[in-house]
Structure 1
Amino acid sequence: MHIESWLETVPAVSVYLIVGLVIGLESLGIPLPGEIILVTATLLASSQDHIDPYILAAAAIAGAVIGDSIGYLIGRKGGQPLLNWLGRKFPKHFSADHVATAERSFHKWGMWAVFFGRFIALLRIFAGPLAGVLRMPYWKFAIANVLGGIVWAGGTVAVIYSVGKVAEDWLKRFSWLGLVAALLFGLGSLLLMKRRAKKAAAEREARAASAEADPVPATD
């Protein structure tokens, strides 16, 4: 069963809780498809009135901020042994190379790594725990975490919801729009074919005229 089909079977409150929980667990450091869940739920909200996009965005923001904060605390308490354990449990996401890349990003960009990490799948999982392991001051982490969560979750819902509404309105008008498009396409194809046929005929006439003007000289 696809995620969208499954979400359609549960009440709106459950959708909010599921979105917040999945995003929270992903932000905490567990590799889950938080972004896919959020986009799918937002598209569902654009087509079903019982799901409020504002509540959905609030649930996503809360999950992102709380999950990252818990991940930070776990990372600060667990330190490097935590990353080693995550590497054994989730080698695809927490390999030594991935950890090293994330550490370089944090050392170079600091708070910006936490903020923009929200928009990058790999750093979204790393941001909280790694900021704690690297002992980033919590006030810096908190500011970047809250702002990143608001911009990422709120922005994603706003953009996808708007796109979904436009797509829904377009699909409602597709019956006559499709007919108009088909007629225009057919007319354009006909004119193009006539133009190409006329051009080909002119080229043939030009070649024939050129052959008559320059006859091949006779040979002895």
Structure 2
Amino acid sequence: MLENFNALADGLPPWLVLLLIAGLVFAEAALFFGFVFPGETAIVVGGVLASQDKLSLPVLLVVAVVAAVAGDSVGYEIGRKFGPRLLETRAMSKHRAKVAKAQDLIRRRGAFAVFIGRFTALLRALMPALVGSSRLPYPKFLLFNFIGGVTWVLTFTLGGYFAGEAFDHAAKLAGRGLAIGLAVAAVVAIVVWSVRKHRREAHEEAEVEAEESEHTLEQTHP
């Protein structure tokens, strides 16, 4: 696994790798790209590359934080501009359960919902736009956006960094074959967890749609 990361970094200049990571993190909320590709995947990989001295860790952290805060700010402006019409878009209608959860979180926690939403992939993509449509003042949004962005970037980037260092250490102690086996097992565990999480979210969305259909039938046939 690390060999693939190193091959990627060796084939591209560091500035381009940083640009790709920044673009993925920025697009997560600004372009709702988080529905397809969670931004933490990019910064975890960046952390691993930094552990292999392919990227500068301080530069990576700064770039990732700026991209996260800027992307969420664009998402906020989209929500503020389009307001309730945003809920009629295809991206929002496909994730009704998450939209409902995010809206409930905003009602209960206000600006703090921005920080909480930062640590859940779909909420991270939805929350800035929904907060913007709720007309929460931008200075409040920016404060919690910055705090959440810094915490999120530090957590996942350093997680990737220390995982990369642990891999090299395990390879030296137990042999590279065993270390690669452990890495593969970790990847399999992550894939299984991701599939189960996706199925659970799909089930939640199906339940919400069923409730909405039932409610519509009750209004149509009282």
Query: Structure 2 length normalisation: TM-score?
Result: 0.70
- Does 1 or 2 have the higher relative contact order (CA < 8 Å, sep 6+)? 2
| 1:59 and 2:54 are equivalent in the alignment | no
Q: Which has the higher helix share?
A: 2
| 2:33 counterpart SS class | coil
How far off its partner does 1:91 sit? 4.9
Change (3 A) 1:105 1:3: farther
How far off its partner does 1:46 sit? 1.3
User: Does the 8 A contact of 1:111 with 1:144 survive in 2?
Assistant: yes
Q: Which piece of structure 1 moves more, 107-116 or 3-12?
A: 3-12
Q: Which piece of structure 1 moves more, 14-23 or 2-11?
A: 2-11
| Corresponding residue number in structure 2 for 1:150 | 150
CA distance in 2, matches of 1:175, 1:22: 34
Stretches of 4+ aligned residues off by more than 6 angstroms? none
| Corresponding residue number in structure 2 for 1:214 | none
| 1:30 and 2:29 are equivalent in the alignment | no
How far off its partner does 1:73 sit? 0.8
Change (3 A) 1:106 1:7: farther
Change (3 A) 1:17 1:97: same
Change (3 A) 1:90 1:10: farther
Query: Structure 1 length normalisation: TM-score?
Result: 0.71
Change (3 A) 1:7 1:109: farther
Letter in 1 for 2:45: T
Decide which structure has the larger Cα Rg and report it.
1
Q: Mind listing any 5+ residue stretches in structure 2 that lack a counterpart?
A: 179-222
| Corresponding residue number in structure 2 for 1:138 | 138
> How well do the aligned residues superpose, as a CA RMSD in angstroms?
2.2
Q: Mind listing any 5+ residue stretches in structure 1 that lack a counterpart?
A: 179-220
Change (3 A) 1:175 1:3: closer
Q: Which piece of structure 1 moves more, 113-122 or 24-33?
A: 24-33
How far off its partner does 1:154 sit? 1.9
CA distance in 2, matches of 1:33, 1:144: 20
Count of equivalent residues: 171
How far off its partner does 1:146 sit? 0.4
Letter in 1 for 2:48: L
